[in-house]
Amino acid sequence: MSNKVHVGSTEMEEGLRNNKWKVLEPSEKIKKIPKRLWDVGKEDPRRVIHALKVGISLTLVSLLYLMEPLFKDIGSNAIWAVMTVVVVLEFSAGATLCKGLNRGLGTLIAGSLAFFIEFVANDSGKGLRAIFIGTAVFIIGAAATYIRFIPYIKKNYDYGVVIFLLTFNLITVSSYRVDSVITIAHDRFYTIAIGCGICLFMSLLVFPIWSGEDLHKTTVGKLQGLSRSIEACVSEYFEEKEKETSDSKDRIYEGYQAVLDSKSIDETLALYANWEPRHTIRCHRFPCQQYVKVGAVLRQFGYTVVALHGCLQTEIQTPRSVRALFKDPCVRLAGEVCKALSELADSISNHRHCSPEILSDHLHVALQDLNSAIKSQPKLFLGSNLHRHNNKHQNAVSQRNRANDVSNKTTETGSRQGQSGAVSLSSFRTDTSALMEYRRSFKNNNRSETTSAAGERRMLRPQLSKIAVMTSLEFSEALPFAAFASLLVEMVARLDNVIEEVEELGRIACFKEYDNTRDPTADDVRCEKPANVVISVGAAE
């Protein structure tokens, strides 16, 4: 008994000692924190610049507190400048302008309206003054809140309306108890203006980050991503041997993922780009809404690429020997589509119009070759078994007509032989009919075999279902490839919409004309993968 107690206490001490060392040792997640921090900055170095800009801005507004002469003039209201920098300074110049101007206008309008309310209510008695202030707060608060539901106000000036409500209520309600509230509001307005000024200076003049350029780069990246996805899809579909790794599937998914998830990002970047000044050399207006339209057309095109990727993952696949018959026209057609997408990306990236030969004769030749290749193999698409069944059925009918004078027994024997020789889809029993016949056969058996029959039915149903699917598709083994080929043709049709919107973008943005003398190999040069765009969710709302 004592030995058991001693052994148990020893094991307990060892367990506590091991747990102590586990607590003292840094976990694997903590070890990965420096690497993650480094990856965030490496992915987009502008994040490091923005962090330094925020630190410098906070240091500058803190001087209002730290320096004695400045503190004597402004006082404790300097904290509003610090709060303004924290709230207003955003990643891009457009977002900072949006929030800064909203905050400034909201404060100015709220302060002016509060001064008017104070001036009107100042001559009345204390009781009437309280009623007048309460009524004004109710009317202004309800009206401003209702205005926030207007889509245009919600999209552009929602933050300004919130600041207006906050400032108006603070000044109006405080003026009932505090006599110097007008002076306090005056000082706060100046400190908020100082904070907004520092934010605008850091955003517009110190390594500015423009939302319009981000929208421009993301559009180019989406075109290149779609081109890579199509190229990878077609190359994987016509491979002779199936790959064991999933690198190609990840490459396909990464290509069109950014396109499908781009709606909210494009709209937010376009909203911020509307607030940005014309900062380019030619000083043209940035066509942010046209970029949004291009993104919408690319999403429609991307849905076709997703369906094309789905053809690689279907349960029923066309044999690779059949795919090899149509490999050359499909690869050439996909190559022409990728070439057109790359030309569109290159034209937007270099701010020039598209090549007049973007839809060259090679694309139409590839379409015709694919059509000819499909027509050259009619048995694969029309079903050789079905034609054989029709011929045999006609022969059986003619034989029965010639054998009308034969006895009933001979006729029955001949009909059985004719039925056994014909092969058709109707001769295959579906899983439902076969199972019903199987159940009826077991109803006549003894009750003692009920348990074993139920187990056999459970095993038989998935087998019959699989057999029914495979036999029903036996007439056309190229049916999955037909879906793949139709999606390639659909991409060519949707490519016209993409080209039309990109040409409209070039017209609005005043792109330079296409130069026929430039190096034709320049189209093959692809830009680097654009960095992830940082968007403030609070600012977007």
Output the pLDDT for position 313. Answer: 84
Q: Which two tokens stand for residue 452?
A: 């074993």
The Cα 466–Cα 461 span in angstroms is: 9
Q: How confident is the model at residue 403 (pLDDT cuts 50, 70, 90)?
A: very low
Task: List 512's β-bridge partners, or say none.
Answer: 352
pLDDT at 421 over 80: no
Q: How confident is the model at residue 280 (pLDDT cuts 50, 70, 90)?
A: low
pLDDT at 450 over 90: no
pLDDT at 414 over 60: no
Question: What is the overall mean pLDDT for the chain?
Answer: 75
Give 109: exposed, middle or buried? Use CB within 10 Å, 0-12, 13-18, 19+.
Answer: middle
The answer to whether the pTM exceeds 0.75 is no
pLDDT at 519 over 60: no
Structural domain boundaries in the chain: 28-205, 211-382+475-526
With beta carbons less than 8 A apart as the criterion, state whether 349 and 213 touch.
Answer: no
**Helix and strand counts by DSSP (H, E) for the chain:** 24, 0
pLDDT at 410 over 50: no
> What would the DSSP string read from start to end of 318-373?
--HHHHGGGHHHHHHHHHHHHHHHHHHHHHHHTTBPPPTTSS-HHHHHHHHHHHHH
Residue 280, helix vs strand vs coil: coil
Produce one character per residue of 454-484: b if its CB has 16 or more CB atoms within 10 Å, e if not.
eeeeeeeeeebeeebeeeeeebbbbebbeeb
The Cα 78–Cα 63 span in angstroms is: 9
In angstroms, the Cα distances linking 335 to 179, 229, 247, 488 are 77, 12, 21, 11
Output the pLDDT for position 402. Answer: 52
Output the pLDDT for position 1. Answer: 45
> What would the DSSP string read from start to end of 127-164?
HHHHHHHHHHHHHHHHHHHHHTTSHHHHHHSHHHHHHH
What is the average pLDDT across 472-483? 67
Name the more confident of 369 and 241: 369
In 10 A of CB 151, how many CB atoms? 7
pLDDT at 79 over 90: no
Q: Which two tokens stand for residue 505?
A: 């973008």
Give 264: exposed, middle or buried? Use CB within 10 Å, 0-12, 13-18, 19+.
Answer: exposed
With beta carbons less than 8 A apart as the criterion, state whether 214 and 266 touch.
Answer: no
pLDDT at 199 over 70: yes
Q: Domain 211-382+475-526 classified CATH 1.20.58? A: yes
The Cα 193–Cα 187 span in angstroms is: 10
Q: Among 107-121, 325-339, 520-534, name the one with the lowest average pLDDT.
A: 520-534
pLDDT at 54 over 90: yes
In angstroms, the Cα distances linking 223 to 302, 403, 469 are 10, 70, 39
pLDDT at 159 over 70: yes
